[in-house]
Structure 1
Amino acid sequence: MKSFVHRGQITKVVFGSGTRSRVPAEADALGCRRVLILCTPGHVSRAAEMSELLGGAAAGTFPEAAAHTPVEVTERAVAYARAVGADSVLAMGGGSTVGLGKAIALRTGLPQLALPTTYAGSEMTPILGETEGGRKTTRRLPEVQLRTVVYDVDLTLSLPTTVSVVSGINAMAHAVESLYAQDQDPVAFLMAGEALDALTRALPVVAQRPDDAEARADALYGAWLAGTCLGTVGMALHHKVCHVLGGAFGLPHAETHAVVLPHVVAYNGPAAPEAMARIAQALPGTDAATGLFDFAGRLGAPTALRDLGMPESGVAQAAELVAQDAYWNPRPVDPGAVRALLTRAWAGEGPVTSSGSELSRVGSFIEHSTTTGVHHA
């Protein structure tokens, strides 16, 4: 007999084509009269269009959202929000902008809306990750949950193919970890599987025909489901690794997810057979990890951390940080094993499904080779 706890969602979702025109009405329904628009420097023109649409309800625009939500940026944004008398925030963009909105909400209590333009999915979670002093910390806080999310498929049509691919794989990572999360439940498992099916079906089409509206809708649908799953269950080793790499080395978020995911799946595979079977159903292959690695390769996604700017000398440091205050994981997190999988991810090698003891021995060999000057692949 199964026993579980399922967390319901409180966020209102509006999904479709041209739905951004509904943002003023959705803001008004929340009683918002002074909406602060948030975006990255690259989305200023799009924010200007939304400001015009909001008319007198637009309080101003803060265009400094940055990856990994640096605390110093948040502090400037909070000061600006207070200066313009904002009573709410509207995040226009991907995970960086949504993260800024959450950080502002935590410090001010302002309600949030979002108009996502990528497949990040963070708009559907109560998770806030912030970076300060080269370290990224992540918390689950119900007070940062968004009130309304408006998905407009049209806004994703101009998302560059390379960004679409890694953003989509980022969403897949949310779904994958939901399949074996500590507080996984039957609803989350079903949604995660549906998300994987939608994303694996849509992303190859998007990569070939980025203006295909149906494929874009399918990808955004999958991203919404994956984000919702992540919002209702916990995170595990994969997200811990990506948070460490992003905070300590400034690696790009979505690209890091794309590189790391197959390796963590290979590590967790023996401890999560039901999850592996569901991944393999969406991505047939010799095993789930290889299926993910080959899928990313076919889409042209990065497969090596070194290509993202990760120094080889940082692998050991990253492994230790991952093991510190480790997230729950279906398989115990061993620093040597993490170092071994990060070494493969750094070099762009394929994932290897091994027992924990085997990975630990590999990690010990790597450490010995480093100290004795022996070269390793």
Structure 2
Amino acid sequence: MSRQFEHVTLGQRVRFGTGQAAVNLAAEVERLGARRVLLIAEDATEVTSKITVAAHCTDVAPHVPVQNAERARKLASESEADLLVSVGGGSTTGLAKAVALTTGLPIVAVPTTYAGSEATNVWGLTEDARKTTGSDDRVLPVTVIYDAALTESLPPELAVASGCNALAHCVDSMWAPRADPINQALAVEGIRALSRGLRLIGDVEGREMTLYGAYLAAVAFASAGSGLHHKICHVLGGAYNLPHAATHTAVLPYVLAFNGPAAPEAAARITEVLGTGGLTGLYEDIGASHVLRGVTDPAEAARLVLPSVPPSNPRPVTEDDLTALLAAASAGLDPTEWSRA
């Protein structure tokens, strides 16, 4: 079978080592020749113990409100920062990206969850209950420092939701607007790693495997772009201020059930790598919830989402389809049974 595609790989350094975050961060600050570090984090005393911090921004909030971004940008200017260091989850990385978007300052990202934002050039800002996203290479961190020890304190429920968010990056990458054989291969391996890692999340091997899978997922997503799942979740998150990871976790099984029959080859690869029970089996094993909370009017939400639906989605999407999908997720119906209705 002949193949024709155009693939872009984003350039980025990755340092991976359990218990090595402080050492690796110091090495990167030195390599980059930074003298005025703006730290974006709520608490990062141990991670930053080997570097000098010129200013510290703790103004982190989900979905990166525009006003928070403006305050962080002002602090970057006032402190004459020459490097941004973000230590935290997706909201923290997102705030650093908002600063980099207008200042061009480089970012060294130290993730403490499995969000994956650190490996993409995607930014997002929320204003007046509407989330705007875009892509710009200025926001791609120049270095990512992964340390499984930093995820050890994550509450189990949050760790599972964060890992399922990474899983959503993989699934969306199988049929997103710029999906190609390379990012599909990364996505499949990401699913394999995440499936294994999330089942072992209580020990260091599981956390390392989940971090590895989250990175592969993010790289695939950065190349493939936002598919139906992410468009739904981004709109819902901005409109209703929903928790990012939990929303992705809840919506994913319904989008997979909706799109799967229209993309049988991709669906078969996803099911094969997940193993017996597929996504439903994994959710049962790890205690993940597919109940969408915070959407009281699925029809209204569907109207908000519809303009963002990618035209290239494997299956045509109507407002009624979205209403049914969101109603099923809000009710926590069995995703497989709902899709057959």
Equivalence for 1:295: 282
In the aligned structure 2, how far is the partner of 1:311 from the partner of 1:243? 13
Equivalence for 2:50: 53
Equivalent runs, 1:1-377 vs 2, <5 Å = 1-20=2-21, 21-40=23-42, 44=43, 47-55=44-52, 58-206=53-201, 210=202, 212-285=203-276, 291-306=278-293, 310-313=294-297, 315-328=298-311, 329-352=313-336
In the aligned structure 2, how far is the partner of 1:101 from the partner of 1:183? 26
Amino acid at match of 1:146: P
Summarize deviations over 1:25-52 as a string: whole Å, max 9, x none.
2122122211111113xxx2xx223443
Gapped regions of structure 1 (runs ≥ 5): 360-377
Summarize deviations over 1:41-64 as a string: whole Å, max 9, x none.
xxx2xx223443203xx1121112
Summarize deviations over 1:132-178 as a string: whole Å, max 9, x none.
10001111112211111111122122222111100000000001111
Amino acid at match of 1:325: S
In the aligned structure 1, how far is the partner of 2:178 from the partner of 2:25? 34
Residue 204 of structure 1, CA deviation:
1.4
In the aligned structure 1, how far is the partner of 2:271 from the partner of 2:316? 23
Summarize deviations over 1:80-116 as a string: whole Å, max 9, x none.
1112111111110110001001100001111111001
Amino acid at match of 2:299: A
Contact 1:297-1:303 at 8 Å conserved across structures: no
RMSD: 1.7
Secondary structure of 2:54 counterpart:
strand
In the aligned structure 1, how far is the partner of 2:155 from the partner of 2:50? 25
In the aligned structure 2, how far is the partner of 1:195 from the partner of 1:220? 10
Summarize deviations over 1:202-251 as a string: whole Å, max 9, x none.
11121xxx2x1111111111011001111111111100110011001111
Count matched residues: 338
Change in 2 beyond 3 A, CA 1:200/1:51:
closer
Residue 312 of structure 1, CA deviation:
2.1
In the aligned structure 2, how far is the partner of 1:96 from the partner of 1:323? 25
In the aligned structure 2, how far is the partner of 1:51 from the partner of 1:118? 17
Amino acid at match of 1:2: R
Q: State the TM-score, normalizing by the size of structure 1.
A: 0.86
Q: Which has the larger radius of gyration?
A: 1
Summarize deviations over 1:298-341 as a string: whole Å, max 9, x none.
322222113xxx1422x111101111132342222211001001
Secondary structure of 1:305 counterpart:
coil
Amino acid at match of 2:260: G
Q: 291-300 or 132-141: which moved more? A: 291-300
Residue 285 of structure 1, CA deviation:
4.7
Residue 354 of structure 1, CA deviation:
7.6
Contact 2:176-2:228 at 8 Å conserved across structures: no
Secondary structure of 1:98 counterpart:
helix
Contact 2:177-2:310 at 8 Å conserved across structures: no
Q: 276-285 or 73-82: which moved more? A: 276-285
Q: State the TM-score, normalizing by the size of structure 2.
A: 0.95
Residue 18 of structure 1, CA deviation:
2.4
More helix by share: 1
Equivalence for 1:375: none
In the aligned structure 2, how far is the partner of 1:33 from the partner of 1:19? 22
